[in-house]
Amino acid sequence: MTEEDRGGSPADGRSAPLWHGRFGEAPAAELWAFTISLPFDKRLALDDLRGSRAHVRGLERAELLSAAETAAILDGLDQVEVEFTSGTFAFAPTDEDVHTAVERRVTELAGPAGAKLHTGRSRNDQVATDLRMYTKRELLDIAVRVTALQQVLFDRAREAGETYLPGYTHLQRAQPVLLAHHLLAHGWALARDVDRLLDARRRTDVSPLGAGALAGSSLPLDPAFTARELGFARVFDNSLDAVSDRDFVAESLFCLSLLGVHLSRIAEEVVIWASDEVAFLRLDDRYSTGSSMMPQKKNPDIAELTRAKAARLIGHLTGLLAMLKGLPLSYNRDLQEDKEPFFDAIDQVRLALSAMSGLLATVRFDRRRMQEAADSPYLAATDLAEWLVRRGTPFRDAHALVGSLVRDSLERNIDLTELVAAHPALGDEAAALCAPGVAVTRRTTRGAGGPVEVARQLQKFQQQLESQSGRLRET
């Protein structure tokens, strides 16, 4: 927001903030510039209007507003909504935050009744209410977008058929697995993210409205009524807790951070797989970038930025926790600092999800490169040891025997398959395990990376997507 949008500062002496009564002088320009939150909490305008409507109905119900006054304020709120959604809302220099901007404008529109809008309410319960409504909506939206990314992974996994590649530990080739298995591994991590987001949302679903500044009210207000009006599942139990609790922001930031970490791990693999050295995939032109100097370059910038966004999200989470840790009850202005990191986290995760979804939907996997890398006979070493185990050799001895053949093969530069075929304890039947494409088919236990189990897993993942979508629709 520019200085112009904000309309300067009340220090100009043109008008006074809403709390002017107690003060003899207008706030200093430096105080104003430092303390206002309007530039970022404008984002809560529609939630603030919703909260205000519920509050007004509660005031009418408590006979603190007449029907005519209620109608005048509700009309004013409708008009403010039109101004916000059409972008014509004019901010005043005294608008400290979105709450004061709305109240000031409603009062201009509704006449004397407007002066009753803030009865029994504080910005402390108001901002907590607005932010919880915002959080509920955004967490659900992020969960829907995560599900869309999981669908991309699922589609790519299904398309991948029986394509296999080396599975790695320590970034060293370990045992072959299907590409589908690898892609779904990320899909399951994202499933936990969706579960976590919805879980955090459930704990966010508590209305703080009616807690007032910190201690409730002497007026006959009914927090349960406004909670119902606003679609909250529950009402606060303790007014001090209601205005000072930002657990829901911390938890949301954790969910977003861990989601960011999962996206970052996918992104890191994209970077590695896109390298000329590995070349397991090629990025689509639309989802990669070039170099201003080197004409041959095709860079995985989306993946790299996704990695970096995770760092930023973690920073937001730790910053918020540090801000909260020293706060006495109840509201303290420090709490205003919850919004920028949180809003940024929501924005960045949303951007990363759509960029990574597009990238993964369009990437071309190089089946030949992957399979060639997995066809090295060394990747069948575990299968050779297990072949011996089935014939009665203790695993430790089998491991040592195959290990010594691997060493021999490397030192003497002889194909492992030949050594296996020639070994008296192994022979041709065991050597057949080293043939291309064989070892992957032998990963047959539950949840394993071979074709039979992956087919079952694909079904299970599809069910997961269906039940997840059902849960999202019902939320």
Instruction: Return the active site residues.
Output: 170, 291
Evaluated on CA atoms 383, 388, 391, 395, the torsion sign reads: negative
Cα separation, 219 vs 214, in Å, equals 14
Pick from 331, 343, 365, 461 the residue near ligand ARG by CB under 6 A. Answer: 331
CB of 330 to ligand ARG, least distance (A): 10
- Residue carrying the six token digits 């922001």: 249
- Binding status of residue 380 toward ligand ARG by CB under 6 A: no
* Cα 269 → chain centroid: 19
DSSP letters spanning 19-68: TGGG-SSPPPHHHHHHH--HHHHGGGHHHHHHHHHHHHHHHHHTTSS-HH
- Segment lying near ligand ARG (by CB under 6 A), choices 135-143, 228-236, 245-253, 331-339: 331-339
CB of 205 to ligand ARG, least distance (A): 20
Contact pattern from residue 106 through residue 135 relative to ligand ARG, giving x for each residue in contact according to CB under 6 A and a dash for the rest: -----------------xx--x--------
- Binding status of residue 45 toward ligand ARG by CB under 6 A: no
| CB closer to ligand ARG out of 69 and 338 | 338
Q: Which residues in 18-37 contact ligand ARG (CB under 6 A)?
A: 37
- Binding status of residue 468 toward ligand ARG by CB under 6 A: no
Query: CB within 8 A of 162, min separation 6: which ones?
Result: 178, 451
Biggest alpha carbon–alpha carbon distance for the chain: 100
Cα separation, 344 vs 319, in Å, equals 13
Pick from 47, 48, 95, 97 the residue near ligand ARG by CB under 6 A. Answer: 97
CB of 36 to ligand ARG, least distance (A): 8
CB of 185 to ligand ARG, least distance (A): 40
Total number of residues binding ligand ARG (CB under 6 A)? 10
Pick from 7, 10, 41, 48 the residue near ligand ARG by CB under 6 A. Answer: 41
Cα separation, 247 vs 236, in Å, equals 13
Q: Is the peptide bond before 217 cis (omega within 30 degrees of 0)?
A: no
Pick from 129, 207, 257, 336 the residue near ligand ARG by CB under 6 A. Answer: 336
Query: CB within 8 A of 242, min separation 6: which ones?
Result: 125, 128, 206, 208, 211, 236
Chain contacts with ligand ARG (rule: CB under 6 A)? 37, 41, 97, 123-124, 127, 331, 333, 335-336
